[in-house]
Amino acid sequence: MKPAARLALYGVALAAVFGGALLAGNTLVPDALVSNWTSASENEAMEHGGSR
């Protein structure tokens, strides 16, 4: 197989893996969990003198 074709196939496979992970994350992780985690990390940053 030619190197250009191998690189193209690798790029397609890589995009498929990351796309699948993105879809799985959006499906499996509820929005409420994300917003609770975000607010908890912002509160912790403020307690430790963060700039947020």
Residue 2 scores a pLDDT above 90: yes
- Give me the pLDDT at residue 43, please: 76
Write the pLDDT tens digit of every residue in 7-36.
Answer: 999 999 999 999 999 999 999 999 999 898
For 1-46, the DSSP string reads --HHHHHHHHHHHHHHHHHHHHHHHHHHS-HHHHHHHHHHHHHHHH
pTM of the model: 0.58
How far apart (Å, rounded) are the C-alpha atoms in residues 48 and 42?
A: 10
pLDDT confidence of 50, banded at 50, 70, 90? low
How far apart (Å, rounded) are the C-alpha atoms in residues 36 and 8?
A: 40
Residue 52 scores a pLDDT above 60: no
- Give me the pLDDT at residue 44, please: 73
